[in-house]
């Protein structure tokens, strides 16, 4: 089983101290110095949209030349250190899973480096499940890693290669979930999927509520719009009120971000729109928000961008690779 956490690309791992306060932004390229004092925590393993940053076909991205600007596809890890051997679960199996697990292993005493306690998938877009291939016999040769998936997602994996081979060879086992029903992953800890409106070519799309006896977190990396969710009877403000942390879709900052394209119909809430909608929230509620899943064009990736100050001055946060947030102090 694999356990514990810190992260980022080989030899450039950072880890912020885990505390009951909001996680602080860390300078991206520093060796991990502070070990978290949490029995249960969430670690951010990646913050980029599915294709990461730099993205294929974009030779002008400065991240090609400057590794400190590299960002991996969005993923979280849930770590439970309450037993003799820590346990951990991944949220999303990204194309960057190799680097993400290596970084996660850097501060873990593990017996089997790829034998996770579970992987929770949100949907069948490449940045969220394609990394499962690395669990196969051509790579890790994992054994019976539980993969939590909604019914359509599970059917897609079962009936299409190469994913079906992972099941045939017992690299993974499917744990089929139902919307609104909590999965009890260990004592006092649960993960509950909920449906969100987003492109569903091959599967449902869900977000998650991750709960411990002390704190909880939302994870919604992809959604078409908050207003469409309103029409389905769910208000994001109420979801935020019921959690302590909220990792929310920040694919694009604002219209005009991609030159020459009308972005008004893009199936994601712009960060600028989310901030305007959340403006009436109290400072405490705003501080729960951590924007994540940023497209390679999103200026929030740029450490010097004024948009980062705009987000923070408005009372919100930007998820950073390597940050660790306490869900249960230990």
Q: Which tens digits make up the pLDDT trace of 101-121?
A: 887 777 555 556 667 999 999
The 10 Å Cβ neighbour count of residue 157 is 24
Report the chain's mean pLDDT, rounded to a whole number.
85
Q: Given CATH 3.10.20.30, say whether it is the number of domain 38-329.
A: no
Q: In what order do the strands lie in the sheet with 75-80?
A: 172-176, 145-149, 119-120, 87-91, 75-80, 38-46, 324-329
The 10 Å Cβ neighbour count of residue 120 is 25
pLDDT band for position 140 (50/70/90)?
Answer: confident
The 10 Å Cβ neighbour count of residue 187 is 10
pLDDT for the residue 15: 36
- CA torsion, points 285, 18, 186, 204, in degrees to nearest 10? 50
Is 119 exposed, middle or buried (CB count within 10 Å of its CB: 0-12, 13-18, 19+)?
buried
Task: List the structure tokens of 63.
Answer: 């991240």
Residue 18 has pLDDT above 80, yes or no: no
Q: Please give the full DSSP string across 86-116, using - where no structure is assigned.
A: -EEEEE---TTHHHHHHHHHTT---SSTT--
Q: Which tens digits make up the pLDDT trace of 230-268?
A: 888 999 999 999 999 999 999 999 877 777 676 666 678
Q: Which tens digits make up the pLDDT trace of 38-92?
A: 889 999 999 999 999 999 999 999 999 999 999 999 999 998 988 888 888 999 9
The residue count for the chain: 330
Q: What is the pTM of this model?
A: 0.88
Boundaries of every domain in the chain: 38-329
């Amino acid at each position: 089983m694999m356990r514990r956490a810190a992260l980022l690309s080989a030899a450039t791992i950072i880890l912020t101290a885990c505390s009951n306060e909001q996680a602080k932004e860390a300078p991206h390229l520093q060796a991990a110095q502070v070990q978290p004092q949490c029995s249960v925590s969430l670690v951010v393993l990646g913050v980029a949209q599915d294709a990461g940053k730099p993205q294929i076909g974009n030779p002008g991205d400065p991240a090609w030349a400057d590794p400190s600007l590299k960002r991996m596809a969005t993923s979280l890890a849930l770590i439970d250190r309450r037993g003799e051997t820590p346990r951990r679960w991944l949220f999303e199996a990204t194309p960057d899973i190799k680097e993400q697990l290596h970084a996660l292993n850097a501060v873990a005493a593990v017996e089997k480096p790829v034998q996770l306690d579970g992987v929770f998938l949100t949907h069948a877009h490449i940045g969220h499940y394609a990394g499962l291939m690395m669990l196969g016999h051509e790579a890790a040769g994992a054994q019976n890693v539980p993969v939590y998936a909604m019914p359509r997602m599970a059917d897609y994996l079962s009936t299409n290669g190469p994913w079906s081979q992972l099941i045939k060879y017992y690299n993974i086992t499917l744990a089929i979930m139902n919307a609104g029903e909590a999965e009890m992953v260990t004592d006092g800890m649960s993960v509950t999927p909920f449906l969100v409106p987003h492109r569903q070519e091959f599967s449902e799309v869900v977000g998650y509520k991750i709960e411990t006896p002390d704190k909880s977190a939302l994870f919604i990396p992809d959604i078409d719009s908050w207003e469409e969710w309103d029409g389905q009877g769910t208000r994001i403000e109420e979801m935020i009120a019921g959690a302590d942390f909220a990792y929310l879709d920040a694919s694009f900052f604002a219209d005009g971000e991609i030159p020459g394209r009308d972005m008004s119909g893009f199936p994601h809430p712009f960060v600028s729109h989310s901030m305007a909608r959340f403006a009436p929230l109290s400072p405490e509620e705003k501080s729960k928000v951590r924007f994540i899943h940023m497209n390679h064009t999103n200026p929030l990736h740029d450490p010097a961008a004024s948009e980062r100050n705009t987000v923070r001055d408005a009372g919100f946060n930007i998820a950073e690779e390597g940050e660790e947030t306490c869900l249960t102090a230990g």
